[in-house]
Amino acid sequence: MRTGDRDEPDLTHEATYERLRSPSRRELLRLSAGAGLSAGLGGGLLAGLGPAAAAAADGGIVKPLPPELFIPHGTNAEMRWEAMRRQGYLTPADRFFVRNHTATPLIDARTWRLKLWGAGLRGRPAEDRPVEFTYEDLRALPAETLTSAVECTGNGRGFFASQQGQAASGTPWKLGAVGVARWHGVRLSTVLRRAGLTREAVDIMPRGLDADFVDNGENLGRVRRPLPIAKAMDDVLLAYGMNGAPLPPDHGHPVRLVVPSWVGIASIKWLGDIQVADEPLHSPWNTRFYRLFGPDYPPEGSAPLTRMNVKSAFELPWDATLRGTGRHVLHGRSWSGGGRIRQVEVSADGGARWHTARIRDRDPNPRGWVRWDVPWHPRTTGRYELLARATDETGAAQPATVPFNRLGYLFGAVVRHPVTVI
């Protein structure tokens, strides 16, 4: 999965990559200011799709959001973790979280085209003379299946306020902004090669067909985030299927990227075009967002975020009620962008004693999660807090607290799950 030689920097990490050719702070400020080159193009391309690109009506999400499966957060909705109880390994599409910057666009696959352009392709095709693939072109290419998590970088953000007393800005997710699906599609590397990828290619910039994102009155253009070519050529999928069905509108129909192990923002939905550049690219989504900002970080923020961290969740309602002081079996899942989960421990006494959970998946998928269970015998009725902490194959684990960052990314501390035994 990772490239190369130990002496070589790992360029599949945007952070490593960034360190090697980081722009100056002044340059970054300029790059993060607004839509830059892409301003105004959104409307034109969308108009080109005609009625096919109408946006979903009220609320911006197409699928039903029954309250037993979802907690709504404006244009987004998170999965309730009890909805994974008695499910198999995968998150069914009906309960997969939705993170929309604006609204789900309704795109007709018959008129849709994927457009590739830029100086990293043979002949350096311009944006208005791109290399095009139809939906059928992509489906005719060798198909692959990839079981991978997609997780929002801000998953767990609400716990900065509720557990650490410092609120971060953004959607106050609990732990439900994650899901694991079986994605079907064609490797991005296959399509990049067919489009004429050259050795000069450095970064790609996939861009969505949803409406321009307006941040406090400032139009930042369409959702787009650079991806280093090394990651793009590694394990990234252009997905047109999810759990054996066509990709649903809310999850990127007709085609989305799935960038395993990385921050959810990398997995661009409703993919319209991909710039392939022979120089580093920037967008607000890797300069002003998706870096760590705060007292512990430099003014321009950390390096752009790449891999997700380690997390664990119980398959219980938030504020669960359990009947009886007898034997219970607690179920949950743990996952990490760093790879396979090696160990999960659970505490019911605030972290004084930890019990090793039984991991049910024998051969853990490094891009997915593991299911686990552990018996629990509460001796008295009353309020409890259940804690779960996991360790991944790199040795990364879940601490009791994490340093604050203003945008509330990567909350990886142990979450204290309230339970009442009656």
Ligand X SMILES: Nc1nc2c(c(=O)[nH]1)N[C@H]1C(S)=C(S)[C@@H](COP(=O)(O)O)O[C@H]1N2
Binding site for Mo ion (CB under 5 A): 99, 152, 264-265
Segment interacting with ligand X (CB under 6 A) among 39-47, 97-105, 162-170, 325-333 = 97-105
Number of residues in contact with ligand X under rule CB under 6 A = 18
Nearest residue to Mo ion, by Cβ distance, number only: 152
Segment interacting with ligand X (CB under 6 A) among 90-98, 344-352, 374-382, 413-421 = 90-98
Residue from the set 11, 31, 71, 98 that interacts with ligand X by CB under 6 A? 98
Q: Kindly state whether residue 308 participates in binding ligand X, applying the rule CB under 6 A.
A: no
Nearer to ligand X, 208 or 221 (CB): 208
Residue 344's contacts (CB-CB under 8 Å, 6 or more residues apart) are: 312, 332, 334, 356, 357, 359, 370, 372, 374, 388, 389, 390, 391
Write out the two tokens for 333: 């899942």
d(CA 164, CA 402): 9
Write out the two tokens for 154: 């801000």
Dihedral sign for Cα atoms in the order 13, 267, 38, 195: positive
Nearer to ligand X, 274 or 344 (CB): 274
Tell me the residue type at 91.
T
Nearer to Mo ion, 73 or 115 (CB): 73
Q: Kindly state whether residue 63 participates in binding ligand X, applying the rule CB under 6 A.
A: no
- Before 304, cis peptide (omega within 30)? no
For residue 182, the minimal CB distance to Mo ion (Å) is 21
Q: Kindly state whether residue 62 participates in binding ligand X, applying the rule CB under 6 A.
A: no
Nearer to ligand X, 208 or 304 (CB): 208
Neighbour-count burial of 94, counting CB atoms closer than 10 A to its CB (0-12 exposed, 13-18 middle, 19+ buried) = middle
Which residues in the 129-188 window bind ligand X by CB under 6 A? 150, 152
Q: Kindly state whether residue 264 participates in binding ligand X, applying the rule CB under 6 A.
A: yes
DSSP string, 36-92: GGGTTHHHHHHHHHGGGGPBPSTTS--S---TTTEEEETTEEEE-GGGGTT--SS--
Q: Nearest 5 degrees, angle CA 79-CA 153-CA 257? A: 85
Segment interacting with ligand X (CB under 6 A) among 95-103, 123-131, 334-342, 398-406 = 95-103
Binding site for ligand X (CB under 6 A): 96-101, 150, 152, 208, 210, 223, 251, 264-265, 267-270
